[in-house]
Amino acid sequence: MSRRNFLSLLGGATLTACAPAQLAPVAQAASASSPRKGVGAVAFDLFTLFDPRGVDQRVAEVVGNEPGFAATWKSKLFEYSWLRAASGQYRDFEGLAGDALQCATRTHHVELSPAARIRIQTAFVELQPWPDSKVVLAQLRERGLKLAPLANFSPSMIRTLLTHADLLGAFDDLISTDRARSYKPDPRAYALAEKSFGLPRSQIAFAAFGSWD
């Protein structure tokens, strides 16, 4: 589903999945209409709520000017998650992040102290929310929609990230794919939303960041 159609489905609320310069003010974009009949809940990829560029910024702070290091780390992390999902050999997201970081250090011949590794990996739980995330989540809750992140992050990572951003209370549940012992795009990961919300998939909207999601 396209972003435009997704927003129409929810009655015009602004959901962020782009850089701040591309955002429309919430006051102009949101409407007073209620959600289309049948939609009772929204599950979010976390990057529709948080700016992922914080990961690259943290890498630059720790590693310095090492071209491609952040890209290698992130691409390997998602590659590992897909391979783990396809092979049925689960390892939690924090473990995968460490494995991918090790690969990036070997590829780019970078030495990192244990403290530096921890500082880089904690970037995922210290991301900044998009400027309108808190307002839009409140608007959706006012319309009676159930809300939850549906993320590859481990349960503790999701809770830490939302607590850091003061958004923990915005959600009815925190859905980690750890419950399915797999990762998106495994269908079992998305099916967790049906169990969490107690609704059929036809009544759940999903806010995706990546086109593959």
Judge whether 153 and 169 are in contact, CB under 8 Å.
no
Q: Identity (one letter) of the amino acid at 131?
A: P
DSSP reduced 3-state for 206: strand
**Maximum Cα interatomic distance, the chain, rounded to a whole number of Å:** 55
Q: Which two tokens mark 168?
A: 């923990």
Any idea which residues carry the catalytic annotation? Answer: 45
Q: Which two tokens mark 179?
A: 């419950």
Q: Which two tokens mark 105?
A: 């250090």
Q: Half-sphere exposure (CA, 13 Å, Cβ side) for 176?
A: 16
Burial label, 102 (beta-carbon count in 10 A; 0-12, 13-18, 19+): middle
Q: Which two tokens mark 46?
A: 């976390």
CA distances from 50 to 45, 153, 161, 210 (A): 9, 13, 9, 13
